[in-house]
Amino acid sequence: MLSRPLGRTGLTVSELGFGCASWWGKPRFDERVALGLVHEAIDRGVTLFDTGASYSAGEAEPRLGRALKGRDASGLVVATKAGTYHAGGGRIARDMSPAAVVASAERSLRNLGLETLSLLQLHGPSIAELDDAMLAALSDLKTRGLARAVGLNSFDPAVIEHAVGLAAIDVVMVDYNVLRPEREALIALAAAAGKGVLAGMPLAMGHTRPLLARLRGPQDLWYAARAVAKHRDELARGRRFRFLHRLPDMTGSQAALAYVLANPNVSAAVFGATRAEHLRENLEVSGRPLAANIAAQIRAAQS
């Protein structure tokens, strides 16, 4: 597994990170399988794990904590998010006040069984919320040794662009995949400013494959329902990338990840998986470059 620097944080991360979110964190998903995926990822060289206080209705973070129990986490980069929380009944609420973010970070440390969070990210802040009080609170978490690096996750390009100009922000997580080439200018800007760049949703949530072909288990139904409710645009755009799943030398998921990793400004691609065969397939792509003709086909499909 190849590694890359996480911007100027002094941290190094495996170029493929494992996302501990969504179905992976749900109690309905077998705990032994979920923990087994994390253990296998560690054994295969993954050092970056990304989760969030509100992920999987608040269940993902403590589950990752249980997965890390008894493991040597000293070489791992464990990233989590703050500013959103599970308000009960599956409802996600947000409190992006500095006090709530600090309290959330302290809870995350307990959930994860760690003394320091490698990376604390604000989960979808607005530009107005990135005010002096918030930046001071984030810096204070670093001074107190509760967070090694701080950053944010946003799907809003204007927020990312603003964050890139803030000295207090170390890392940005953006939605970057074959369906989102428009993120490349922003990613270049972030890297030029010394920020670590994490690519979330690097598989475009699987939307390059036909929805029906993906329905094999309860998790697929859950992801399909989410796609129909929230990601119809991606479902439609994904049709242009069906050819990725007919390549001779790589699977479609490997090609999608290789596309993200071909961008030298990306520190790591953080994917989600609930099947061990998916995890293995994805990790095999580290160090395997995307063939020039496939890259050209992707560019053509994007235009």
Ligand X SMILES: NC(=O)c1ccc[n+]([C@@H]2O[C@H](COP(=O)([O-])OP(=O)(O)OC[C@H]3O[C@@H](n4cnc5c(N)ncnc54)[C@H](OP(=O)(O)O)[C@@H]3O)[C@@H](O)[C@H]2O)c1
User: Residue 198 contacts by C-beta under 8 Å, 6 or more apart in sequence?
Assistant: 17, 48, 50, 79, 153, 171, 172, 173, 174, 266, 267, 268, 269, 270
Smallest separation, CB 218 to ligand X (Å): 10
Give the residue with the Cβ less far from ligand X, 41 or 273: 273
Exactly one of 130, 202, 250, 268 binds ligand X (CB under 6 A); that residue is: 202
- Considering the complex, state which of residue 50 and residue 146 has its C-beta at the smaller distance from ligand X: 50
Report the alpha-carbon distance of residue 109 to residue 214 in Å, rounded.
36
CA distances from 38 to 13, 121, 164, 208, 252 (A): 15, 21, 31, 25, 23
> Which of 4-12, 15-23, 99-107, 188-196 is the region at the interface with ligand X (rule: CB under 6 A)?
15-23
Contact window for ligand X (CB under 6 A) among 129-137, 157-165, 203-211, 289-297: 203-211
Which range binds ligand X by CB under 6 A, 5-13, 87-95, 204-212, 289-297?
Answer: 204-212
Following CA atoms 5, 194, 203, 221 in sequence, which dihedral angle do they give, to the nearest 10 degrees? 100
Cα 177 to Cα 171: distance, rounded to the nearest angstrom? 18
Q: How many residues contact ligand X, by CB under 6 A?
A: 26
CB-based contacts of 132, cutoff 8 Å, min separation 6: none
Residue appearing with tokens 């799907």: 155
Q: Is 116 or 222 the residue whose CB approaches ligand X more closely?
A: 222
Q: Is 34 in the site for ligand X (CB under 6 A)?
A: no
- Among the listed ranges 88-96, 157-165, 185-193, 278-286, the one in contact with ligand X (CB under 6 A) is 278-286
What are the residues whose beta carbons fall under 8 Å from the beta carbon of 169, sequence distance 6 or more? 130, 135, 138, 150, 151, 152, 163, 195
Residues 169/151, Cβ–Cβ less than 8 Å: yes
Rounded Cα distance between 238 and 252, Å, is 12
Q: Rounded to whole angstroms, how far apart are CA atoms 240 and 181?
A: 14
Toward ligand X, which CB reaches closer, 43 or 132? 43
As a whole number of angstroms, the distance between CA 34 and CA 24 comes to 6
Does residue 98 belong to the site contacting ligand X (CB under 6 A)?
no
Q: Which of 281, 288, 291, 297 binds ligand X (CB under 6 A)?
A: 281
Smallest separation (angstroms) from ligand X to the CB of 207: 8
Nearest residue to ligand X by CB is: 19
- Interacting residue with ligand X among 259, 271, 286, 298 (CB under 6 A): 271
Residue 136 or 226: the one with the smaller Cβ distance to ligand X is 226
Determine if 179 is a binding residue for ligand X (CB under 6 A): no
The region of 84-92, 127-135, 269-277, 292-300 touching ligand X under the rule CB under 6 A is: 269-277
CB distance 141 to 150 below 8 Å: yes
Q: Is 270 a residue that touches ligand X (CB under 6 A)?
A: yes
For residues 34, 220, 79 and 181, what is the CA-based torsion angle, rounded to 10 degrees? 150
Q: How far is the CB of 143 from ligand X (least distance, A)?
A: 27
Torsion of Cα atoms, 277 then 280 then 281 then 284, to 10°: -170
Q: Which of 29, 85, 176, 223 binds ligand X (CB under 6 A)?
A: 223
50 contacts ligand X (rule: CB under 6 A) = yes
* Interacting residues toward ligand X by CB under 6 A: 19, 21-23, 50, 153, 173, 200-206, 219, 223, 253, 270-275, 278, 281-282
